[in-house]
Amino acid sequence: MLEHVSIEGVRNLSDVKVALPLGASALYGANGSGKTSFLEAIHLLGVGRSFRTHQSKPVIQHNTDFCRVVGRVETAGHKVTMGVEKHRDGAVRARVAGQNAPSLSELAQNLPLIVFDTDSLGVVTGPPEGRRRLLDGTLFHVEQEFLLLWRRYAKAVRQRNSGLRRGIITSDAAWRAELAQIGEQLTDARARIATELAVELAALGPVISSDLAAVQVVFRPGWDRSVTLSEALERSAASDAAQGFTQIGPHRADLRLIVEGVAASDLLSRGQMKLLVVALKLVQGRLVERAAARSPLYLVDDLPAELDKNHCASVCSQLASGRQVVLTAVDRGSLEAAWGGEPLQMFHVEQGHVTACGA
């Protein structure tokens, strides 16, 4: 769990120091007060980047060169201090337990996060990349060897594509062999987690809303799996050389969300798609909890504005039971009503200042 967080220069948050309880914390205040920026700062601490933008400059407070977030995390019975700095030139520096972190993934290993934000609809309506991130982000915490496997595959694709663009095809057989070996392993891991996700969604979806009872999850590996990836790459070799990039493989995988044989994005209403995204994030959290034997930190941005009262309460009931959750909303009453009487540490946010105000 995240016991304490210090924030400097993240948007309008200048010098914020907050102790967080194990259970639920709720931040309320006017639009633009800094509630979502607080969640964004925690995301920076756990991932090294914002969930709102891929650029550095919008995150960093005006007239400052960098922002910094430092947190004290309790994990596996040990307390670890970790911090991250993000600079205007895009540089990111991270430290864990007093040592420079060789990779930002070390942050995520110590502080797993599940984010519910207003832009999450892209998981349903957007390109496959967002759904692959859902799968891979879950696998990162579920299977220890996954990150190394993913990095090896990504490197192999980059190397082969570089050769294809330059017309260097003499060593293409070796590149294809590397892609095939790693890609099959990567796909097996994704297929396993996709199956688990589908089973969990079938159970949890109807609890959130009866509208989700018919949603099915179908994993697409990125090539026709009636043949091996090696065979598929060989068949596509001439076309890849002509196009200058690798057209098939796990980097083209997708997690299709289907309702009655039709893409969920084409059949569900916007409100129903919001509920589906929430259900998928809850399922992701359950899978991480089961594999890692600990709960991730849930960051929930303005749920009362996204869902009606009954559905909001249904989601909050799934988040309770000892999980660490940080929620935001404009008014205090909507958060208290949604949380349903469970203990809730309240914080008021005004002009970048966060003040504990009791439950």
Each residue of 180-195: pLDDT tens digit?
Answer: 999 999 999 999 999 9
Each residue of 338-351: pLDDT tens digit?
Answer: 888 778 999 999 99
Which residue range is the domain that position 208 belongs to?
A: 124-290
Full-model pTM: 0.93
Angle at the Cα of 172 from the Cα atoms of 171 and 173, rounded to 5 degrees = 95
Each residue of 129-187: pLDDT tens digit?
Answer: 999 999 999 999 999 899 999 999 999 999 999 999 998 877 899 999 999 999 999 99
Asked whether the beta carbons of 153 and 181 are under 8 A apart, the reply is no
Q: Beginning with the edge strand found earlier in the chain, give each strand of the sheet holding 99-100 in spatial order.
A: 16-19, 2-8, 66-75, 78-87, 92-96, 99-100
| Ramachandran assignment for 338, one of left (phi > 0), alpha (psi -120 to 50 degrees), beta (any other) | alpha
Q: Is residue 118 part of a domain?
A: no
Which pLDDT belongs to residue 306?
85
148 Cβ neighbours under 8 A, 6+ residues apart: none
CA end-to-end span of the chain: 20
Do residues 242 and 338 share a domain? no
Q: What average pLDDT does range 45-69 have in this prediction?
A: 91
Domain with 217 in it: what CATH number?
A: 1.20.1050.90
Asked whether the beta carbons of 353 and 33 are under 8 A apart, the reply is no
Domain-ending residue, one of 253, 270, 290: 290
What's the domain count of the chain?
2
Q: What is residue 53's DSSP assignment?
A: -
Domain with 83 in it: what CATH number?
A: 3.40.50.300
Structure tokens at 149: 């496997």
Query: pLDDT averaged over the chain?
Result: 92
Do residues 80 and 99 share a domain? yes
